[in-house]
């Protein structure tokens, strides 16, 4: 399992415990911290997980093709 896959799995678990109103702020903070660990390609993959991460990665890195996870939405 790659680093980005571990990060995605951890995010999906933790997201369940974050109220919907706080998810974007939590996602922004999460992506900022993951920028130190993941390369740009992995960050775009992370951005394909859900709308919160997509917005966070887009704000950080700009537009790019996101690798969408089949479980999105």
Q: Which tens digits make up the pLDDT trace of 43-63? A: 999 999 999 999 999 999 987
Q: Which residues contact 6 (CB under 8 A, 6 or more apart)?
A: none
Count of CB atoms situated within 10 Å of the CB of 41: 11
Could you give the maximum distance between any two Cα atoms of the chain, in Å? 31
pTM of the model: 0.82
- pLDDT tens readout for residues 13-41: 999 999 999 999 999 999 999 999 999 99
Instruction: Using alpha carbons, select from 69, 72, 42, 44 the residue that is nearest to residue 57.
Output: 44
Q: What is the mean pLDDT of the chain?
A: 89
Residue 9 scores a pLDDT above 60:
yes
Instruction: Using alpha carbons, select from 43, 71, 37, 70 the residue that is nearest to residue 59.
Output: 43
pLDDT band at 73 (very low <50, low <70, confident <90, very high): very low
């Amino acid at each position: 399992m790659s680093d980005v896959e571990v990060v995605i799995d951890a995010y999906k678990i933790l997201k369940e415990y974050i109220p919907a109103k706080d998810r974007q702020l939590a996602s922004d903070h999460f992506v900022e911290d993951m920028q130190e660990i993941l390369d740009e390609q992995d960050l775009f993959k992370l951005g394909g997980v859900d709308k919160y991460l997509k917005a966070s990665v887009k704000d950080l890195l700009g537009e790019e093709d996101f690798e969408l996870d089949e479980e999105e939405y």
